[in-house]
A and B are shown apart, each in its own frame.
Chain A
Amino acid sequence: MTDTINVQAAADKFLALVGRPLATWAEACVRCGLCAEACHFYQATKDPKYTPAWKILPIAKAHRARTGFLGMLGLAPKITEKDLKDWEELIYDSCNMCGRCTLVCPMGIDIATITGATRQAMAAAGIGPADLFAAADNARDRGSPLGLSSEKLVDRLEWLADDNEIDLPLDKKGAEVLLTVSSIEMMKYPDSIVSMGKLLNAAGVDWTFSSKGYEATNFGYLAGKSDIAKMLTMRIVEAAEALGVKTVIIPECGHAYGVMRWQAANVIGRPLPFEVFHITEYLAKLKREGKLEFKPFDKAFTYHDPCQISRRGGAAGDARYLLEGFAPNFKEMSPTANSNWCCGGGGGVQAIARSAPIRYEVFKIKTRQVEETGTSTLMSSCANCRLTLDEAKTATKWGGELASIVEVLAEHLVEKD
C-alpha cells in the first residue's frame, strides 16, 4: 500500500468501468448468501466477511453515489478511504476471481468481474498489497514478475536446450506458433518448459519462443494496474506480429490464458491477429490430428482444474481428452471440472505473502478432495496452482505428490523416428 490514498481516483475509476454488465451485477444482489457456500475462503474460515456478495459493496456504493435519485442530488454516501482500506483484504487477499460463486448465484452475479474492477479502482487510489504491486512493477520494468529478463530467458533457454538435448527455437521469424512461458515455470519448474518443447517438436510444429514477448503471466491485470496490464499484453501481441505467427500458446498458467484469450483483444481495442490456445487445448488439438501418441501412464492420480482454464475458460474438456486412453487410473475428484474447488492462489493471491495462512486453510479443502479419490497424486495444468499447492504442501506437511499434465505427457510420449 502506498502512503497517499487518492479516493477520488478510485471513484473516477469505478465510474469509468461501470457499464451495463457491472451496473447490473452491482445492483442485482438479494443477499441470499448462497455464494458463501461456493467460496473456499468462507468454507475454510466460516467467517461471514468472506461472503462473495460482501465484495460487491464498494462498487455498488461508488455506483450509487454517481447514479440513482440520491446520487444525482449528491445525497448518496460516497466511497471513502475507510471503505477502500476495509475491503483491501477481501478484494485482494481473499478473492481468486475463480468464479465459483457465479455458479451458485440465483441472480447470476459475476463477482470475479466485480473484484477485477474493484482492484483497478483500488490500485488507482494507491491501495493494494505491496508485494503484488511490486510483482506488477517488476514485470513492467524487468520483463517479468520474477526478474526473468530477456537476457536471462536467452541464457536459461540455452542451458535447458543443452542440458536436455532439445531444440528450443528462439526468435524464429516466420514460425507458425509462438510459445510463451510463465516465469514461475522458468525459475521453479523448468521441466515444464522442456516438456512443452519436446511435445511440440514431436508433433512437427513449426514454433518459436520470442525474446521480446515471452512472459505469459500478467501481474498488471492481477494487481489491478490496467496500464501495466495493457503494456504486458502488447509485448506478446507485438512479438507475435513481428514474428508473423498465426498462433500463440499460453503455457501452464491459468490467468495468463484468461487474459490473452478472453481479454486481450478488448484491452488493445482490436481483434488479435492470431489464435490463442492454452497448452492443454493445443496438445489436445495435436492429439486429435493424430500428431501425438502416448505410452500408458499407470499411476493413480486426480486432476485439479485451474479455474481460469476450466470454469472461466471453457477448456475443461481438453485436459480430459488428453488423459483419455492414456491414463487408466485417472480418478475425477468431486466436485470436478467447472465446479472444482480453486487452489486458493489464483488471481495473484499466491504473490501476496500475508495471505499464506488462509491459503493453507483453503489447501485442506483440496487435500480432502484428493484423499476422497483414493489417490495421492494431484495433477494440474497451471504453474501458479502448482506453486500454491507446493508451498501449502510443505507448510502443512501433506504427504501427497504434485504433477504437471504437460510433464507427464512428455514423459510418456511415443517418439517416432
Chain B
Amino acid sequence: MDLLDFARGPAINVAMAVMVFGVLWRLFAILFLGKAPDRTVPRMGTPGPLGAALREIARRMVPHPTFAFAERFSFFNGWVFHVGLAVVVFGFRPHVLFIKNLTGLSWPTLPSGVVYVVGAITLVSLAAALVRRLTNPVQRFISGLDDYFSWVVTILPVITGLVAVGHVGARYETLLAIHILSIAVLLIWLPFGKLFHAFLVFVSRGTTGAFLARRGV
C-alpha cells in the first residue's frame, strides 16, 4: 500500500468514523443533559420556542444593527472563508466524485477555474483571520491552543489542495495523498475542538432565541 492508497483508504475511513462518532457523542452529551422546565409565563404574542430558535439562527447570519460597524471585519471575513470553504469542498468536481464514492451522493459541480480562485480567496481570508487574531489585543488575549490548532487544521487542506492542483514540489500522487491526509486530520479534530461550532452554532443560537423570545426580546 502506497501513501495515496493509505490516505484514500484506511486514513480517510478512520477519520470519517472518528468524526461521525465524535460529533454524535458530543451532541448527545450536550442534548441529553436536559433542560429544566420553564414555568414562567411567556410574554403575550411572542413566538414559540421552535419559531424563536429558527428566527435567531437566521437573524445572527447578519450583524446586529447596533454593532454593524464594530463587526465589519469579522462579519465580512467570516462569511468569505466560510462560504469559500463550502464552495471548494462541495463545488470541486474531484471532491464530489470522492464523496460519491464514499456515500453514493453527488450534485452538479463548478468549473475548476472558479474553484481555484475561490480557494485562493479562502486562503487569503483565513490568513487574514489569523493576522487579526494575533494583532487584535482582545482576540490575542482570549485565544488558546485550540484556536491556533483549529486554524492550522482548517488551512492545511486548502494549502495542500491548491498545491496538489498546481502540481507544485512533488509527484501529484504524493501531493494528493498529503491533501487527503490533511483532510483526515481536520475530520478527526472537528468534533473535539472549536470547529465543533459548525454544529453548536445552531444549538446555541436556537437556545438563546427561545430564551429571549419568551421574554419578548
Contacts and interface: CB of A to CB of B under 8 A. Distances in A.
Contact of B60 (A42, A106, A113): A106
A31 B194 contact: yes
Contacts of B66: 103-104, 335, 339
Contacts of A103: 64, 66-67
Given A265-B40, A311-B217, A314-B216, A108 B30 contact: no
B interface, how many residues as a size bin?
35 or more
Interface string A22-55: 0111011111111011100010001011010110
Most interface-central of B40, B137, B194, B201 (chain A CB within 10 A): B40
Given A19-B35, A31-B144, A37 B40 contact: no
A28 B197 contact: yes
Interface in B16-57: 29-31, 33-41, 43, 46, 56
B205 interface: yes
Contact of B207 (A25, A69, A270): A25
A270 B39 contact: yes
Contact of A51 (B36, B141, B201): B141
A118 interface: no
B139 to A, nearest CB: 4
Interface residues of A, number: 57
A109 interface: yes
Interface in A47-66: 48-49, 51, 53-54
B30 A30 contact: no
Contact of A271 (B29, B39, B192, B207): B39
Contacts of B142: 31, 33, 48, 51, 53-54
A20 interface: yes
A315 B67 CA distance: 22
Nearest to B67: A104
Given A19-B34, A312-B217, A339-B66, A32 B139 contact: yes
A53 B74 CA distance: 16
A106 B70 CA distance: 13
Given A69-B192, A108-B205, A20 B31 contact: yes
B217 A36 contact: no
Contacts of A51: 138, 141-142
Contacts of B40: 261-266, 272
A147 interface: no
B43 A266 contact: no
B196 interface: yes
Contacts of B216: 313-315
A30 B133 CA distance: 11
Interface in B55-104: 56, 60, 63-67, 70-71, 74, 78
B30 A23 contact: yes
A102 B209 CA distance: 10
B173 interface: no
B139 A33 contact: yes
B106 interface: no
A365 to B, nearest CB: 14
B59 to A, nearest CB: 9
Contacts of A275: 41
Most interface-central of B35, B41, B67, B147 (chain A CB within 10 A): B67
B204 A36 contact: no
B35 A32 contact: no
A19 B144 contact: no
A357 interface: no
Contacts of B143: 31
B174 interface: no
A190 B216 CA distance: 31
B217 A314 contact: yes
A64 B64 CA distance: 31
Contacts of B64: 103-104, 339
Given A108-B208, A109-B208, A313-B215, A23 B197 contact: no
Contact of A21 (B136, B147, B207): B207
Nearest to A317: B216
A34 to B, nearest CB: 6
Interface in B171-217: 192, 194, 196-197, 200-201, 203-209, 211-212, 214-217
A346 to B, nearest CB: 16
A333 to B, nearest CB: 12
A38 B43 CA distance: 26
15 contacts: A19-B33, A19-B36, A20-B207, A25-B204, A34-B70, A36-B138, A54-B141, A106-B74, A107-B200, A109-B208, A110-B207, A265-B40, A266-B36, A269-B39, A272-B41
Pairs of residues from A and B, 7 with the lowest C-beta to C-beta distance, nearest first: A314-B216, A48-B141, A108-B208, A265-B39, A108-B205, A33-B138, A37-B70
Interface of B: 29-31, 33-41, 43, 46, 56, 60, 63-67, 70-71, 74, 78, 133, 136-144, 147, 192, 194, 196-197, 200-201, 203-209, 211-212, 214-217
Given A24-B30, A31-B133, A275-B41, 18 more contacts: A20-B33, A24-B200, A24-B203, A24-B204, A27-B200, A30-B194, A31-B142, A31-B194, A32-B74, A48-B141, A53-B142, A54-B142, A108-B205, A108-B209, A262-B40, A266-B39, A270-B39, A314-B46
